[in-house]
Amino acid sequence: MKKQTRLLKMILSALFLALAYVMPFLTGQIPEIGSKLCPMHIPVLLCGFICGWPWGLAVGFVSPLFRSVTLGMPMLFPAAVCMAFELAAYGFVAGLMHKFLPRKKPYVYCSLLTSMIVGRLVWGIAMYVCMGIKGGSFTFSAFLAGAFTNAIPAIIVQLVLIPIIVIILDNPKITNLRD
């Protein structure tokens, strides 16, 4: 049974990686808000919640780098590198908190909000370091704009969509992937 669960998590993680690769194509067709929807974040967060923290961390770290190397978007340095750390933090924190907290609606929101905040802080730190390496600067106002102000549409979509999906999939009658 444990082998089947591990295989199922691997298959689902591959699905989430594929979604993270493809979803920016869908939102990119709406230039005004396409990038503000942060389409790669949703599959990574779901992967952390559904498959657990190791898979969420791996899918989060690999997806922006894989997309950058194969398509050139996002630009590898500093964007994709910093996104890799951000998304890895999303998948890690969402999966870890969801594993240890009760599977009730308030705790799903708690896990989601915590992972979103930690991920954005990790992105800010990574951008600060990468811009320092590059010889540029990354100000606090640039952090606020990139992490929060420009991401308001994504934050709203994530707060509405992800808990609904997680709560439905946490029903023991549907699946039992809990570690």
One DSSP character per residue, 79-146 reads IIHHHHHHHHHHHHHHHHHHHHS-SSHHHHHHHHHHHHHHHHHHHHHHHHHHHHHHT----HHHHHII
The pLDDT value given to residue 1: 64
Q: DSSP assignment, residue 151?
A: T
Rg (CA), the chain: 16
What's the pLDDT band for 178 if we cut at 50, 70, 90?
low
What does the mean pLDDT of the chain come to?
A: 92
Please state which of the ranges 15-24, 75-84, 120-129, 162-171 shows the lowest mean pLDDT. 162-171
| Domain boundaries along the sequence of the chain | 2-27+37-169
pLDDT digits (tens, 9 = 90+) for 54-87: 999 999 999 999 999 999 989 999 999 999 999 9
List the CATH code of the domain at 2-27+37-169. Answer: 1.10.1760.20
- Render 22-61 in DSSP notation, one character per residue: HHHHHHTTSTTTTGGG-TTHHHHHHHHHHH-HHHHHHHHH
